[in-house]
């Protein structure tokens, strides 16, 4: 996904030709999905000990645009430092982190910039969160339903 300049002079993260495709995908959502991006707003001052977030601004732009294209996505941008209490509730301490609501009920998250090659991964997670989830075989569903202890799954991915 390359950036191109939009009508207001801002660099658009999502190409015009991709917008229609995404809007179509968005129509498949059967429920609304809250998408919360924890970010670090750019500061004019370098704060000692604080690592600047190189992808936060791009992640914010991308999600804002996605929210405009898919009305069922409710995008919230939350500065990590200014929303510590909420971040703690979501167990988030790094940026950028995107917490998915909807059917994911805030138990699924994406850490890192969701664009580039990982955009498809991110979108599939979003679409899952907003779907009825009927595509899962009953056997699998039953076995997962029997889980008695908490299970954390970490999946490492890269953009290239």
Partner 1 sequence: MASLAVTFSMISPRITAEIIEAQEFTDIASRYTVMGVPRTVINDNNDDALEGAVPADVLLQKILEA
Contact residues: partner 1, CB under 8 A: 55, 94, 100, 103-105, 107-113, 118, 121-122, 124-125, 128-129, 133, 136-137, 140-141, 143-145, 147-160
Spatial distance between the Cα atoms of 9 and 133, rounded to a whole number of angstroms = 40
Nearer to partner 1, 49 or 145 (CB): 145
What is the rounded distance in angstroms from the CA atom of residue 160 to the CA atom of residue 118? 8
> Nearest approach, Cβ of 153 to partner 1 (angstroms)?
4
Minimum CB distance to partner 1, residue 8 (Å): 28
CB of 143 to partner 1, least distance (A): 6
Q: Each residue of 108-122: b (16+ CB within 10 Å) or e?
A: bbbebbbbbebbeeb
CB of 76 to partner 1, least distance (A): 19
Quick one: tokens of 81?
A: 């430092």
User: Rounded to an integer, what distance in angstroms lies between the CA atom of residue 69 and that of residue 53?
Assistant: 26
User: What spatial distance separates the first Cα and last Cα of the chain, rounded to whole Å?
Assistant: 13
* Closer residue to partner 1, CB minimum distance, 26 or 112: 112
d(CA 26, CA 22): 6
Kindly state the smallest distance separating residue 97's Cβ from partner 1, in Å.
Answer: 9
Contacts of the segment 145-154: beta carbons below 8 A, 24+ positions apart: none
């Amino acid at each position: 996904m390359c950036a191109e300049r939009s009508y207001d002079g801002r660099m658009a993260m999502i190409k015009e030709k991709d917008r229609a495709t995404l809007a179509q995908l968005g129509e498949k959502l059967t429920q609304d999905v809250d998408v919360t991006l924890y970010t670090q707003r750019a500061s004019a001052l370098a704060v000692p000990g604080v690592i600047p977030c190189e992808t936060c601004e791009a992640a914010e732009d991308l999600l804002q645009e996605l929210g405009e294209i898919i009305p069922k996505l409710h995008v919230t941008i939350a500065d990590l430092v200014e929303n510590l209490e909420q971040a703690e509730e979501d167990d988030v301490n790094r940026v950028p982190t995107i917490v998915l609501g909807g059917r994911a009920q805030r138990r699924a998250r994406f850490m890192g910039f969701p664009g580039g090659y990982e955009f498809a991964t991110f979108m599939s997670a979003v679409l899952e969160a907003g779907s009825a989830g009927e595509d899962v075989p009953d056997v699998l569903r039953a076995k997962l339903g029997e889980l008695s202890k908490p299970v954390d799954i970490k999946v490492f991915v890269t953009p290239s």
